[in-house]
Amino acid sequence: AFQTLGLVGFANLAPPLTNPLAPDATGCPLDFKKARSDRERGDVHGLQRITRHPQFWAMGFCGLGVAAQTPFAGTAAAALGFPLVAGLGGV
């Protein structure tokens, strides 16, 4: 469940997609221009409405999922570093 939450968090962080064949498109399917203009206007949406550092929290939840599933203490300790960084850096 924690890994799923982390992966959904990463999926929400991607910039919007555009049609590269549209007349006003630059040829790149990622629309960085729209994401930049939304940020300049002050529009806050998605995970950024909840926290300023959604990447930390997505990585932290992925780490919690790995730590919960592994039978090895070393892997669990290494994976628990990500939620630690999210907790310290995301506040």
Of 6-15, 17-26, 79-88, the least confident = 17-26
pLDDT in tens, 44-65: 666 666 777 787 888 888 899 9
Confidence (pLDDT) at 71: 93
The residue among 68 and 38 whose pLDDT is bigger is 68
Q: What is the pTM of this model?
A: 0.63
Report d(CA 53, CA 72) in Å as an integer.
Answer: 29
Contact 67, 34 (CB under 8 A): no
Which tokens in the block code for residue 86?
């999210």
pLDDT in tens, 64-89: 999 999 999 999 999 888 888 888 87
Contact 90, 56 (CB under 8 A): yes
